[in-house]
Amino acid sequence: MEHKDIDHLFRHHSGKMVSVLTRIFGLAHLDIIEDAVQDTFLKASVSWRKQQPDYPEAWLTKAAKNRVLDIFRTLKTQQKHIGQLSTGTDAIAINELFLDKEIEDAQLRMIFTACHPKLDPRDRISFSLKTVSGFSTKEIASALLTKDETIKKRLMRARKSIQKADLKFSIPQGKALKERLETVMEVLYLIFNEGFHSNKKEQLIREDLCGEAMRLCQLLLKHETTRQPKVYALFALMCFHSARLASKTNINNEVLDLKHQDRTQWHFPLVQLGNTMMNKAVDTEEFSSYHYEAAIAAEHLKAHSFEDTDWDKILQWYLSLYELQPMPSHVLTMAVICLQNNDYKSAESYFKKLDPDTLEQRKYLYYGAKADYYKATNNLKSALEHIGKAINYVNNDLEKQYLLKKQAAWLKET
Amino acid sequence: MKNFMMIFIGADYADLGLSPEELQNRMGKWFAWGHKMEQAGILRGGEALTPQIRRIVGENRTVTDLTSAEVKEIVGGYYTVEAKDFDAVQDIARDFPDYDLGGTVEIREIMVFDK
């Protein structure tokens, strides 16, 4: 029989089964449920060695159904209170929950549980990756560059919060849905960024994280109540960024800025998908920050070369974004855009608005950009002074090298 | 040609805390290995064993039930293959997927009696 290689089948199915079984038995029994699901995969990994079933997914779903009875038995021996599986109609009702549509529904409930405001924000990501995405503690630790122990603690704490608040395994409705959807999107955005922005991680892990965030975002889009313009915008943003994921680093895993990326490596099917999503996202009066971020990402992708970039347009999007999120880092970005555009007067006015200390660890970016500004306006003395400060504040070695190189070149001009 | 048994000894997967993703990857490797032997026409049989152990020892036939967690190493399964000699089987056993988990392959020749 031919080898049916379905990417991440086990991982994804693990999330589905944990969700469905939680819908049946409740969040209180998550431990038992996770053990039962894990056991299914252990069995599958051995019994499939010789021959894989023709329909692996159906096989796994059937195995999960069989687990329902096992779990009933376990709970009974532990004397835990749980409804009896007494009549045939109960069995039919449970059977229904394993239909595709109901599985998706259960997964959404799990996402909303994982992103509940009662959970510590740091615990939300770990708990989502574990229960919704089927990552192991070790996999989460390496994805988030944290210790196993830390993740274990976060997962424990998340469970405790869930028990303590006695959370219902449900999708919120009405006004509550609106607020909770915000946190869900925030968590998905963070998971995506964990993958997209870290150069310390292996490419595979980064792709996994971005892929997971996109898969969960798609789940939101499949469901009527969560299929909203800003979710489309978030998905579009992820598409646009993902299209550049492979070109973000060179073979030495060094980060390349937009100027030095090989644009032929961009993945255009994802750009197209992003555009389609964007068209649906703009069907609203009210734009979210995800709309503007997606628009900015799209603008960068449109340019055939770095020099072709339409900086005026990008600046417009940043101005709109800044209105929604008045963050100093956006002001700095706008200053840098003006420098790209050779509009030194506007750049200067943005610099004036900024107090470098508000940028915290990114303070060096301010001094670096300001050094560029002085250099461009032929004030070499101030330029050197500022690049010195930038080098002083920078933490990342690669970026430090980059700044030192620049400084050396400028010193030659004195 | 002779028949050999490759016996797989090591920790049980359940005791290693493997994630679903890792389990799937392992399974893929086992599957590819089995497929390769099948294609070469050398695979004669094989089974995977569950981790429960009932051990009977001594004249008193003392019975103990053990779990894989109590016995660090456990026979997890075997394959029988047809090959020229030990070296040929050693070559086949290169693709055993679980060396990195501390797994061991023991090669034994199946005895043939004179007729």
Mean pLDDT of B86-115: 94
In terms of DSSP H, where are the helices of A285-376? 289-302, 311-324, 328-340, 344-353, 363-376
A230-242: b (≥16 Cβ within 10 Å) or e: bbbbbbbbbbbbb
- Percentage of chain A lying above the pLDDT 90 cut: 57
| Cβ–Cβ under 8 Å, residues A226 and A245 | no
Classified by CATH at the fold level, domain A327-414 comes out as 1.25.40
Question: What does the pLDDT look like over A162-183, one tens digit per residue?
Answer: 999 999 899 999 888 998 999 9
Query: Which pTM does this prediction carry?
Result: 0.82
What is the residue-wise DSSP string for A274-289? HHHHHHHHTSSSS--H
CA distance B101 to chain A (A): 15
Tokens 């595979």 appear where?
A204
pLDDT above 90: residue B81: yes
Q: How confident is the model at residue B114 (pLDDT cuts 50, 70, 90)?
A: confident
Domain ranges of chain B: 2-109
CA distance B24 to chain A (A): 6
Tell me the chain B residues in contact with residue A149 when contact means C-beta distances shorter than 8 Å: none
Mutate to test the interface with B, among A4, A10, A137, A204 (most CBs of B within 10 A): A10
Residue B59 DSSP SS3 = coil
What is the maximum span of chain A, computed from C-alpha positions, in angstroms? 89
Could you say which architecture CATH assigns to the domain B2-109? 2-Layer Sandwich (3.30)
β B104-109/B2-10 pair status: antiparallel
- Which residue(s) pair with A347 in the sheet? none
Residue A259 and residue A107: Cα distance in Å, rounded? Answer: 40
Question: What does the pLDDT look like over A352-407, one tens digit per residue?
Answer: 999 988 888 888 999 999 999 999 999 999 999 999 999 999 887 778 888 999 99
Domain ranges of chain A: 1-98, 109-204, 327-414
With CB atoms and an 8 Å threshold, state whether A49 touches B48.
Answer: yes
Which pLDDT does position A18 carry in this prediction?
Answer: 94
Task: Copy the structure tokens of residue A1.
Answer: 């029989």
Tokens 């069907």 appear where?
A283
With CB atoms and an 8 Å threshold, state whether A42 touches B13.
Answer: yes
C-alpha radius of gyration, chain A, whole number: 25
Question: What does the pLDDT look like over A3-26, one tens digit per residue?
Answer: 445 778 899 999 999 999 999 888
